[in-house]
Structure 1
Amino acid sequence: MTDTADTAPLFDTVLVVNRGEIACRVIRTLRALGIRSVAVYSDADRDARHVREADLAVRLGPAPAADSYLDIEKVVQAVLSSGADAVHPGYGFLSENTAFARRLEELAVTLIGPPASAIEAMGDKIRAREHVAARGVPVTPGAGEAGWSDAQLIDAASEVGFPLIIKPSGGGGGKGMTVVRERDELAGALVASRRVARSSFGDDTLLIERFVESPRHIEVQVLADAHGTVVHLGERECSLQRRHQKIIEEAPSPLLNEATRAAIGEAACEVARSVDYRGAGTVEFLVSDAKPDEFFFMEMNTRLQVEHPVTELVTGVDLVEQQLRIAAGQPLELPPLALSGHAVEARLYAEDPERGFTPQTGTVALVREATGPGVRVDSALVDGLVVGADYDPMLAKVIAHGPDRATALARLDAALAETIVLGVPTNAAFLRRLIAVPEVQTGALDTGLIERSELAAPATPALARTIAALVEHDRAERAANSAWSRPNGWRLGPHRAPRYVIDGEEVAIDAAVREQLAPSIRMLDAAGETLTVTVTHESRRVTAHVVRAAGDTWMHVDGVTHRLARPTRAARLAEHRAGLTRAPGAADPTIRAAMPGAVVALGAATADTVVEGQPLVTIEAMKMEHTMLASVAGTVTLEVAVGDQVALDQVVARIHPDEPEPRPDGDQGDPA
C-alpha cells in the first residue's frame, strides 16, 4: 500500500456514481487519501449506508435505475452541483457506458477509468473477440453481429456447435447468459436472452459461442498508466458460479502453475495494450480443466471487479488508490508482483438458494458483521435497510486471507458463521455448505460444480424450533394480565403444557424442556422485537439471536440463520382446506411467485388448457428472470397481467386439474 501521509490530494472532490457496498468501499479509500466524497442516491436509497458515509450526497431521482443511477444527465447535474472534478463509477450501472464517458470528457471532468475509446472497443463482445484475435489472443468459436435476427443466429449455431452459450454482446455479470444443449431449445432461449439484454443493457444484440465443458473461469487483473506501463497483478479463480454469476472467488488460482500464470498474464497485458488502456481492468479467460495451459479470451471488463479484494489482500495493493493515481496522470510505481498467501471471497446475496437462487426482499432487522484475523467485510448493510427489487441483490462481500488456501477457507467459513443478517433471506448458509464440498476444498473447480453438487439445506433443527417456542412462551407470559391468561395459568382438568406451532410443527413447552434448556432471554430493544437467548443444550451454552419480522421468527444459532414460519390461524386453516381437495402426494395447482418483481411475460391465457411444466408467468427482478411453470395439467386461470408487480408467494395462477381418465373396467381405483 502506498504511503499517503504526506501526499497532496490527487483530486479535490470525487463523485461516486454507484450505490451499496462498492460505493462504501470507494469512499473508504477517498477518505484515506483526504479526498472529499460525493454520494448519489435514488429515493429507495435515501437512508443507505453509502449516503451516510459520504461527505455530501445528491439525490438523483426515483427508485428505478433508469430514472436515477442510469440517467446520464441527472448524474451530470450532480457532478456540476457538487463541484466534483472526478467521477468514480464503481462497477455496473454507468461504469462501462461509452456515452457517459464521452459526456464527462466534454465537461473536462475526469472519469476514474479508461478512455471512452477503450470502453467502446471492449464493450461489444463481438468486436472485442475480433480485435484480440487479430493480436494473437486465442478465442472460442462463435458467431453474431449487430442486427442479426434469431433466425440468423440459429443458422450459425450449426457451425458453432452444441452445447453453446448465448451472451448479450453489450453486457456482463452473467445477465442474459444461457447454455443451450439441444437445437430445439435455442429459439426460446434467444427470446429470453434478448429480453434480459434489452432491460439490463439497453442493447439486445446477442452472441453465441461454443460452450466449453468443465471450464475454469480465470481472470487477470491489469493496471495500465498513461505513460505506456502495463502490468498484471496475478489471476483470480472465479469458477464457482450459479446462473453464470460468480459467488466465490479466490486468488491465486489453485489450477495454474508459474509458467501458465506468466503466459496468461502476458496475454491479458496484450489485450490492454491493444486498446491503449488506462486504469484498472480485468481480462477474463476460459481455461480447460483438463489442459490448464490452454486458455481462451472471453471478455475484458473495463472497470473494477466485484472480486477485487482478493487481489488486494494477496498483493497489498489498493486498487482504488491506483485507479485514482492513474486517472490523475501519475506513473505506476509498483514493486514486482509478489503474491502473499491466499484469499477467498464470498458474495452475500439476498436470495433463496432453495428456490433457484431467486432474489428476495425485506427489511434488515439485525446485522452483525464478522471480524477476526484475516477477515475483511465490504458491506452496505445497516439495521433497518430496506432490500427492494430495483437493484442487484448483493448485500456484502466476506473475504478471508491466510498464509495458505486451507487457512483462508477455514477463516472464511468461520466468518460466514459469524455473519448475522435477520429479516431478509441470504445465501450465507449455502456458501458454508459450498466451501465444505470436497472438490472446493481440494481446488478441483469448474463452472458447473454447483449444479452437480447436492447442497440442499438441512431440515430446521429441533433446537431452533424449541428456542422459538420458548420466545413465544416468554412473550405470552409477559403479556398476560391475569393468572387465567398466562400460558401456565390455572386450568380446569388435567394440566396441559403450552404448545406453539413453529415452522409447521407443534412444540410443547413443558417442565422438562424448560429445565433442560434453562433459557435466559434478554431484550435488546424497546419494542422487544430483537432478543438474545442463551440456553444450555447438550452440556454446552448456546446463544441465539432472535427477531420477529413479517410474521415469521428469524433466528441465528450455531452459525446458521433460520426463518421459522409463523402462519396465522386463518392461514393454517386455509392451507388445510386446500389440502382436503387434493389427492395425497398430488402437486399443488396453485402457482405462487417464487420471488417479488414485475411480470414481464405470460405463457398462456385464462381458460387455456396447459400441460405440466408449461411456462405460465415470467417474473423479473434485480435483472433476473424466473419463470413459473404449470405444476399439473389442466385449465388455467391467470391472476396477473404483464406489468403487474407481485410479492413473494403471491398467487399468480390457478390450475383446475384434468380429471383422471376412467379405467376400461370402470374401476376408479382404491380411494384409500
Structure 2
Amino acid sequence: MAVFDSVLIANRGEIAVRVIRTLDRLGIRSIAVYSDADADAMHVRAASAAIRIGPADARRSYLDVEAVVRAARDAGAQAIHPGYGFLAESAALARACRSAGIAFIGPPPEAIETMGDKVRARAAVEKRGVATVPGVAGPALDDATLVAGAERVGFPVLVKPALGGGGKGMHRVDDPAGLPGALAQARRESTAAFGDDTLFLERFVTNPRHIEVQILADEHGNVIHLGERECSLQRRHQKVVEEAPSPLLTEEQRERIGQAACETARAVGYVGAGTVEFIVSGDHPDEPFFMEMNTRLQVEHPVTEAVVGIDLVEQQLRVAAGEQLDRAQEDVRITGHAIEARIYAEDPAAGFAPTGGEALLVEWPEGDGVRVDAGIASGDVVSTHYDPMLAKVIAHAATRGAALERLDAALADTRVLGVMTNVAFLRALVADPEVRAGRLDTGLIDRHGERLARIDVPDDVFAQAGRALIERGARGVRAWDPDGWRIGGAVGSSVRLRDGAAIATVTMLPASAAASSVAVRVARERGTSQSRLLADPVAVAFAPGGVWLSTADGTWFVEEARNARRGRAGQDPALASPMPGTVVAVHAADGGEVAAGDALVSIEAMKMEHVLRAPVAGVASIDVRVGDRVSRGQDVAAVRESEES
C-alpha cells in the first residue's frame, strides 16, 4: 500500500530520476519540476507529470521556494521530496510545506537550521559528548578575527562556510600569507552557492580520512545507523569515489562511530534519513571528530543501499508518512562491499574544468552487481547552469577487491560521446596501488591527480580518428555513425590531429588485401611513424573541429590541429577560459604589471570557481568584466612577457 498518492520531486538530474524509480515501484504518482534549460531532460521524461518552474537561473526556478510549493499545490502533490542540492537542506521549504499542509520528506526545519549552521551544529553535538575538530567558530566572524584565530589553532587550517556543503567554499591554507586571499575567495563562493558568506576555521587533521555514517530516525524516537561510508577520495573537497564499509575501521570502531552519529541525530530531534560526517586521522582511527551533518539523502547513498539491502528513498517516504522504522539496530547487517564512482562533465587534463554540450551517444554498463543512477541519455544537452555530475556507477561484490574489479569493468563499458567526462581518470584512480590497498586519505587525489589525469593518446586512437575524418570528408558524412565504413576515393589523403600536446598526421594507405580492414600511417610530430591495419571503427561522433570516438581504451575527442587556438598576436601567452561560465572576479588591472602565478580572472561554472593565473611575469591585458558570460576556449586575458624575464 502506497504511503502517499503523489509526490513532487523538487530537483533535477540523476537524483530526480532515482527518486522516481522508487515512486514507480511503490505505485506513487511522480511529479517533476523543470527550468527552461531542462524542458527535455531525462527526469521530465521519466515522471508521471511535469511542471515548468522558471528560467534556467536556479535562483528563479529550482531555488524558488514559493514556486516549488505552488507547483505542488497545482499538481495535487501530497508530499515534496527535495533530493540533494538546491532546496534539500532548506528550512524555508520545510516550513512552507508545513504551512501548506504538504509533507516534507526530510527532517523538521529546526533540525535543518541547527545542522545547516556548522557553528551551531558544533555546539549542539558537543553537548551530547561528541568530539569536534579544534577550530575558530562563532557568529559572523570578520577576517581579522579569523586570521588571529588561525594563529592560535595552528596551520594548516581549513576555511569553511558556516552554511552549505559539497566542498564549495572550502580551502586549505598552509601558511598565514595565503589566508586573506582564501577568505576572500571562500566568501565569494559561499555567497554564490548558499547566499551567506559566514566562515569559520578548523585545524587540518593530518592523514585525514573522511568517514560518514548513514542514520535513520522516525518521529517516535527511534534512531539507528546503517554503517559507515569511506569518502576520502576527494578533489577540491568534492567526493569522487565512495565505498561501504570503510577499509579502515574495525567492527568495534564501526559501532563506536555509529553510536556517535546516533547521538548527533538525537541532539537536534532528527527525523528521516541523514548523514553524519566525521574526520578521522588514519593514524588514530579511534578518535573520530564530528564535522557536519547533512540533513538529506547523500549522493553516495547507493553504496549503503547495496550492502544493507534497504531502499533509503522508501524509508524516507515511510518516515515522512508517520510510520515507525521497520527494524532495530541489531537487525542491520552489512553484506559484501560496494564502491561508487561519480561521472562528471569535466576535463581532467584541463585541470578538471567543467564541460558541457550535447551528449551525442550515451551507453551505460549493465550486469550482475552493477547499478547506474544516470541523469542523461543520448541526445540530451548537458547544461553549464547546474552541477556537472551526470551519473553514478556503483559496483557491489563479496569483497572489496572484487568490487573494485567490477567497478573498473563497468567504467570500461561506460561511453559518453559529445561531452568530456572523467571516466578515464576514474579508471586510473581505482587502479592506483594505494587505492587498491585501502591506503586512502583526502589528499591522495591532490598528490596524484596530475599523473592520473595525464593519459597519452594511443596511436590506434589517432588512426581511428584520422580514418573517420578522412572518410567523412570523402563522403560528406554529417551525423554520428557507429558502423564501419569502407574506403572510397580517399586513399592517400591525410589529416593533422591533436589531443592536448600530442600531434600526429594520419594518412590513408592503399587498401589492404583484407576486405574488412583499412591501412593507415600515424606519424607523430615528436615521435615515431608507424603503419597499422585497422578493423572497422567503433562508435564515432563528429563535432565542430574534431571527432569523438570510443575504443577499448576509453572515450576520446581528437581535434583537427588546424583548429588549434593561438595566442593573441601569435606571441603573448593568452589565457583561454577552460570552461563555459561567468566571470565572477577580475584580479588584475588591464595594462598592470603582474608576476608569474598572479591571479588574473576567476570564472564560475557548475558551482565551481576556476582561477586563471599569469603564466609569466609581465603586463596583463584583460578582455572581460565581472558578469560576462564566456565560452570554453575564449581568450579572457593575456600577458606580455617582461623583457627582463
Give the 5 Å matches for 1:113-512: 113-334=106-327, 336-453=331-448, 454-479=451-476, 497-503=492-498, 504-511=503-510
Contact 1:157 1:208 (C-alpha < 8 Å) held by counterparts: yes
Separation of aligned partners in 1, 2:89 and 2:50: 23
Deviation at 1:545, TM superposition (A): 1.1
Separation of aligned partners in 2, 1:256 and 1:149: 38
Separation of aligned partners in 2, 1:638 and 1:439: 43
CA offsets, 1:517-538, max 9 Å, x none?
Answer: 8059xxxxxxxxxxxxxxxx99
> Which of the numbers 541, 545, 550 marks the counterpart of 1:547?
541
Give the 5 Å matches for 1:82-121: 82-121=75-114
What letter matches 2:18 in structure 1?
R
Q: Which residue of 2 aligns with 1:632?
A: 616
What letter matches 1:474 in structure 2?
E
Deviation at 1:543, TM superposition (A): 5.4
What letter matches 2:465 in structure 1?
A
Separation of aligned partners in 1, 2:399 and 2:515: 42
Q: Which residue of 2 aligns with 1:533?
A: none
Q: Which residue of 1 aligns with 2:480?
A: none
Contact 1:355 1:594 (C-alpha < 8 Å) held by counterparts: yes
CA offsets, 1:115-143, max 9 Å, x none?
Answer: 11111111100010111011100111111
Further displaced range: 244-253 or 537-546: 537-546
What letter matches 2:505 in structure 1?
E
- Counterpart of 1:565 in 2: which secondary structure? strand
- Counterpart of 1:455 in 2: which secondary structure? helix
CA offsets, 1:378-428, max 9 Å, x none?
Answer: 001111211122110000000000011111100100100100000010000
Separation of aligned partners in 1, 2:182 and 2:133: 20
Give the 5 Å matches for 1:66-85: 66-85=59-78
- Counterpart of 1:656 in 2: which secondary structure? strand
CA offsets, 1:478-508, max 9 Å, x none?
Answer: 349xxxxx99759xxxxx8221112232111
Contact 1:271 1:283 (C-alpha < 8 Å) held by counterparts: yes
Contact 1:119 1:302 (C-alpha < 8 Å) held by counterparts: yes
Give the number of aligned pairs. 618
Deviation at 1:184, TM superposition (A): 0.9
Separation of aligned partners in 2, 1:516 and 1:174: 55
Larger radius of gyration: 1
Deviation at 1:477, TM superposition (A): 3.3
Contact 1:542 1:558 (C-alpha < 8 Å) held by counterparts: no
- Counterpart of 2:289 in 1: which secondary structure? strand
Deviation at 1:475, TM superposition (A): 2.2
CA 1:489–1:381 in structure 2 vs 1: closer, same or farther (change >3 Å)?
Answer: closer
Contact 2:496 2:505 (C-alpha < 8 Å) held by counterparts: yes
Q: Which residue of 1 aligns with 2:522?
A: none
What letter matches 2:612 in structure 1?
M
> Percent identity, aligned pairs only?
54
CA offsets, 1:44-93, max 9 Å, x none?
Answer: 00000000010110101100110100011111110110011100000011
Further displaced range: 510-519 or 497-506: 510-519
CA 1:488–1:516 in structure 2 vs 1: closer, same or farther (change >3 Å)?
Answer: closer
- Counterpart of 1:113 in 2: which secondary structure? coil
Contact 1:365 1:549 (C-alpha < 8 Å) held by counterparts: no
Are 2:638 and 1:657 aligned? no
Separation of aligned partners in 2, 1:41 and 1:472: 38
- Counterpart of 1:254 in 2: which secondary structure? coil
Contact 1:610 1:634 (C-alpha < 8 Å) held by counterparts: yes
Deviation at 1:511, TM superposition (A): 2.2
Deviation at 1:654, TM superposition (A): 2.0
What letter matches 1:656 in structure 2?
R
Deviation at 1:655, TM superposition (A): 2.0
Separation of aligned partners in 1, 2:182 and 2:506: 47
What letter matches 1:448 in structure 2?
G
Contact 1:473 1:487 (C-alpha < 8 Å) held by counterparts: no
Contact 1:488 1:497 (C-alpha < 8 Å) held by counterparts: no
CA 1:542–1:211 in structure 2 vs 1: closer, same or farther (change >3 Å)?
Answer: farther
RMSD, matched Cα: 2.1
Deviation at 1:190, TM superposition (A): 0.2
Separation of aligned partners in 2, 1:479 and 1:241: 45
Deviation at 1:576, TM superposition (A): 9.8
CA 1:575–1:592 in structure 2 vs 1: closer, same or farther (change >3 Å)?
Answer: closer
Contact 1:375 1:401 (C-alpha < 8 Å) held by counterparts: yes
Are 2:598 and 1:603 aligned? no
CA offsets, 1:229-260, max 9 Å, x none?
Answer: 10000000000000101010000000000000
CA 1:402–1:652 in structure 2 vs 1: closer, same or farther (change >3 Å)?
Answer: same
Q: Which residue of 1 aligns with 2:554?
A: 560
CA 1:556–1:212 in structure 2 vs 1: closer, same or farther (change >3 Å)?
Answer: same
Q: Which residue of 2 aligns with 1:527?
A: none
Give the alignment's TM-score, normalised by structure 1: 0.89
Deviation at 1:551, TM superposition (A): 2.4
- Counterpart of 2:159 in 1: which secondary structure? strand
Contact 2:622 2:637 (C-alpha < 8 Å) held by counterparts: yes
Contact 1:145 1:205 (C-alpha < 8 Å) held by counterparts: no
What letter matches 1:551 in structure 2?
G
Give the alignment's TM-score, normalised by structure 2: 0.93
CA 1:576–1:213 in structure 2 vs 1: closer, same or farther (change >3 Å)?
Answer: closer
Q: Which residue of 2 aligns with 1:16?
A: 9
Deviation at 1:578, TM superposition (A): 5.9
Separation of aligned partners in 2, 1:248 and 1:471: 34
What letter matches 2:578 in structure 1?
A
CA 1:514–1:188 in structure 2 vs 1: closer, same or farther (change >3 Å)?
Answer: farther
CA 1:174–1:517 in structure 2 vs 1: closer, same or farther (change >3 Å)?
Answer: farther
- Counterpart of 1:653 in 2: which secondary structure? strand
- Counterpart of 2:200 in 1: which secondary structure? strand
Contact 1:418 1:559 (C-alpha < 8 Å) held by counterparts: no
Separation of aligned partners in 2, 1:540 and 1:464: 10
CA 1:328–1:202 in structure 2 vs 1: closer, same or farther (change >3 Å)?
Answer: same
Separation of aligned partners in 2, 1:407 and 1:540: 34
Further displaced range: 608-617 or 428-437: 608-617
Contact 2:344 2:390 (C-alpha < 8 Å) held by counterparts: yes
Q: Which runs of 5+ in 2 are unaligned?
A: 478-485, 520-530
Contact 2:518 2:535 (C-alpha < 8 Å) held by counterparts: no
- Counterpart of 2:496 in 1: which secondary structure? strand
Separation of aligned partners in 1, 2:52 and 2:455: 44
Separation of aligned partners in 2, 1:471 and 1:628: 35
CA 1:192–1:319 in structure 2 vs 1: closer, same or farther (change >3 Å)?
Answer: same
Are 2:599 and 1:615 aligned? yes
Deviation at 1:144, TM superposition (A): 2.5
Q: Which residue of 1 aligns with 2:578?
A: 594
